[in-house]
């Protein structure tokens, strides 16, 4: 199967959002809840104050939410304008490996290098390391059958 993929800044941001929500969000929630518990302990160490507890909890979660939004917004700025990530790349998915070719690079990945295959709402992610993935936006497929064929090809080859 041959696919021509042009990654946009939005694709890059979507990948990072997907990765964060799948692998880091729960850890950060636990961390922020522990921090909130410490803050509430200090606010209430001389006696329980319902108003201070409610206000500090609301402010704390508001700051948590804003910090996540700012993190996601900054992701679009990370890839360089002329960097290799935003290049148009041709992928050829063979039974023994994945070939790639762009204007500035070419090479291959053996299927054994692909650790996991994940599906997001807008793209497929073939993880080759903990935070590195081949991003295949769903918009590159002509129809649902082509997407299903791609999924089957990848699942069949990463289980070898």
Using one digit for the tens of pLDDT, what is the confidence trace for 92-131?
A: 999 899 999 998 889 999 999 999 999 999 999 999 988 8
Give φ, ψ of 51 to 5 degrees: -60, -50
pLDDT greater at residue 154 or residue 49: 154
For residue 83, what pLDDT band results from cuts at 50, 70 and 90? low
25-39 pLDDT, tens digit per residue, is 888 888 888 888 888
- β-partners of residue 98 are 93, 109
Look-up: residue for tokens 């200090």?
Answer: 42
Write down the pLDDT at residue 136: 96
Give φ, ψ of 141 to 5 degrees: -90, 140
For residue 82, what pLDDT band results from cuts at 50, 70 and 90? low
DSSP string across the chain: -EEEEE--HHHHHHHHHHHIIIIIHHHHHHHHHHHHHHHHHHHTTTS--HHHHHHHHHHHHHHHHHHHHHHHHHHTT-S-TT-GGGSEEEEEE-SSEEEEEESS-EEEEEGGG--EEEE-SSEEEEESSSS-EEEEEGGG-SSHHHHHHHHHHHHHHHT-
Whole-number Å distance between alpha carbons of 23 and 129: 13
Longest Cα–Cα distance of the chain, Å, equals 68
């Amino acid at each position: 199967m041959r696919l021509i993929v042009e990654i946009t800044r939005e694709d890059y941001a979507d990948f990072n959002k997907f990765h964060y929500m799948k692998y880091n969000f729960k850890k950060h929630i636990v961390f922020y809840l522990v921090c909130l518990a410490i803050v509430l302990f200090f606010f209430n160490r001389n006696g329980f104050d319902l108003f201070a507890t409610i206000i500090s909890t609301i402010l704390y979660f508001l700051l948590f939410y804003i910090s996540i939004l700012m993190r996601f917004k900054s992701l679009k700025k990370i890839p360089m304008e002329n960097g290799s990530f935003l290049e148009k790349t041709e992928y050829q998915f063979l039974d023994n490996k994945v070939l790639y070719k762009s204007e500035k690079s070419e090479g291959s990945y053996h299927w054994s290098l692909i650790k996991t295959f994940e599906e997001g709402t807008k793209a497929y992610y073939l993880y080759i390391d903990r935070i590195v993935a081949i991003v295949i936006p769903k918009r590159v497929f002509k129809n649902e059958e082509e997407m299903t064929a791609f999924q089957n090809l990848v699942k069949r080859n990463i289980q070898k």
